[in-house]
């Protein structure tokens, strides 16, 4: 007996009605299928990045952990959107004659903003773009005050994008401008300040930073265009919107992560100012560790751990 292919019945379980309002400009099964596909890619990438982390000592896994969290959060966001959840119907500002975008209420997937900090609704940008930025800024070895400032500006960029998407009137475009201004600040940090720091750290660091940084800047300047065509202007259909944002996210997250981790394969995090110590290297536990050995701290009055022997530290090699 031949098996018939299983149809996408998500809309039977999750209709496009929320709080009494029904979105008549929303995704179809084609858009839902695309979201499931992107969710699958994000999931595979997450497992791959986590798996690669086990090839490194725990003190060298920071970029693997950050990058895997980016794709993990994105996978959850795309699962939610593929299930036709995490959205609210918002009255469109511009009514179009095109039957694919003709209607009163358009689905706005707020889950994209809640999951990550960004300017589009489909990327869970509230979490993922700060993590992507953290990957780049740590690679460049920027000081923590600059990193924190840039991450907070990035949050402003995302939150204003969400607010603008939920505003019905033309005041949404004010928030669009605020978001673009914040994006410009982030772009300045990446292209000027961080690039100089990365160059000073050596050719290998500079190379991975330029590759990943240029890819990020190029893609991030496309997100406001997508927002204007989708949430803002109601120009393209939600299915096309899903493809637009999905392609951007595939390059901005799994492809970015693969390039970043490949570039970091021979870079010691300590060169970037990341002096990370594992539990078995903690002096409070093992009496002090230095150069692969334990310093004798049996005499608490002797800061050198020399037991009174001419100030020379006694080291036991393990």
* pLDDT exceeds 70 at position 300: no
Locus of tokens 């290998």: 204
pLDDT tens for 6-20 read 688 899 999 988 888
Q: pLDDT grade, residue 124 (50/70/90)?
A: low
* pLDDT exceeds 50 at position 313: no
Q: pLDDT grade, residue 286 (50/70/90)?
A: low
Q: How far apart are the first and last CA of the chain?
A: 66
* pLDDT exceeds 90 at position 115: no
* pLDDT exceeds 80 at position 130: yes
Residues found in the chain: 318
* pLDDT exceeds 90 at position 180: yes
User: What pLDDT is recorded for position 287?
Assistant: 55
297: three-class secondary structure by DSSP? coil
Lowest average pLDDT, out of 43-47, 93-97, 189-193, 208-212, goes to: 93-97
* pLDDT exceeds 90 at position 289: no
Q: Which two tokens stand for residue 276?
A: 């990370």
Q: pLDDT grade, residue 112 (50/70/90)?
A: confident
CA atoms within 13 A on the CB side of 1: 2
Q: Which residues of 36-60 are buried (b: 16+ CB within 10 A; e: fewer)?
A: bebbebbbebbebbbebbeebeeeb
How far is the C-alpha of 85 from the C-alpha of 90, rounded, in Å?
15
User: What pLDDT is recorded for position 3?
Assistant: 56
User: What pLDDT is recorded for position 277?
Assistant: 85
User: What pLDDT is recorded for position 294?
Assistant: 39
User: What pLDDT is recorded for position 113?
Assistant: 75
Contact between 120 and 252 under an 8 Å Cβ cutoff? The reply is no
User: What pLDDT is recorded for position 282?
Assistant: 61
User: What pLDDT is recorded for position 19?
Assistant: 83
* pLDDT exceeds 50 at position 242: yes
Contact between 125 and 116 under an 8 Å Cβ cutoff? The reply is yes
User: What pLDDT is recorded for position 280?
Assistant: 75
- Over residues 155-179, the mean pLDDT reads 93
Residue, of 121 and 46, whose pLDDT is higher: 46
How far is the C-alpha of 87 from the C-alpha of 296, rounded, in Å?
61
* pLDDT exceeds 60 at position 151: yes
Write out the H or E segment, with its range, that includes residue 225: helix 223-227
Contact between 86 and 109 under an 8 Å Cβ cutoff? The reply is yes
Residue, of 2 and 298, whose pLDDT is higher: 2
pLDDT tens for 198-218 read 999 999 999 999 999 999 999
- Over residues 41-69, the mean pLDDT reads 96
What pTM value is reported for the model?
0.83
- Over residues 62-86, the mean pLDDT reads 95
């Amino acid at each position: 007996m031949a098996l018939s292919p299983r149809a996408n019945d998500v809309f039977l379980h999750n209709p496009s009605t929320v709080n009494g309002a029904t979105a008549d400009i929303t995704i179809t099964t084609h858009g839902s299928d695309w979201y499931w596909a992107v969710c699958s890619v994000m999931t595979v990438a997450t497992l791959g990045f986590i798996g690669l982390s086990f090839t490194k000592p725990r003190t060298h896994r920071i970029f693997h952990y950050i990058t895997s969290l980016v794709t993990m959060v994105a996978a959850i966001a795309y699962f939610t959107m593929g299930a036709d959840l995490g959205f609210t119907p918002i009255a469109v500002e511009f009514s179009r004659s095109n039957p694919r975008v003709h209607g009163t209420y358009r689905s706005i997937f707020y889950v994209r903003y809640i999951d990550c900090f960004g300017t589009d609704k489909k990327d869970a940008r509230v979490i993922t773009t700060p993590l992507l930025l953290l990957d780049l800024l740590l690679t460049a070895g920027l000081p923590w005050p600059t990193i924190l400032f840039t991450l907070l500006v990035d949050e402003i960029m995302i939150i204003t994008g969400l607010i603008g998407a939920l505003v019905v009137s033309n005041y949404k475009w004010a928030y669009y401008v605020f978001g673009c201004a914040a994006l410009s600040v982030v772009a300045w940090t990446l292209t000027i300040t961080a690039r100089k720091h990365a160059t000073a750290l050596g050719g290998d660091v500079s190379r991975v930073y330029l590759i990943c940084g240029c890819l990020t800047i190029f893609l991030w300047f496309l997100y406001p265009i997508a927002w204007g065509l989708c949430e803002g202007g109601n120009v393209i259909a939600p299915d096309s919107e899903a493809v637009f944002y999905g392609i951007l996210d595939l390059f901005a997250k799994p492809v970015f992560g693969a390039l970043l981790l490949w570039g970091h394969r021979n870079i010691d995090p300590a060169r970037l100012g990341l002096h990370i110590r594992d539990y078995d290297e903690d002096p409070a536990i093992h009496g002090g560790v230095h150069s692969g050995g334990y310093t004798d701290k049996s005499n608490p009055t002797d800061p050198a751990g020399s037991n009174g022997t001419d100030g020379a530290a006694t080291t036991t090699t393990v």
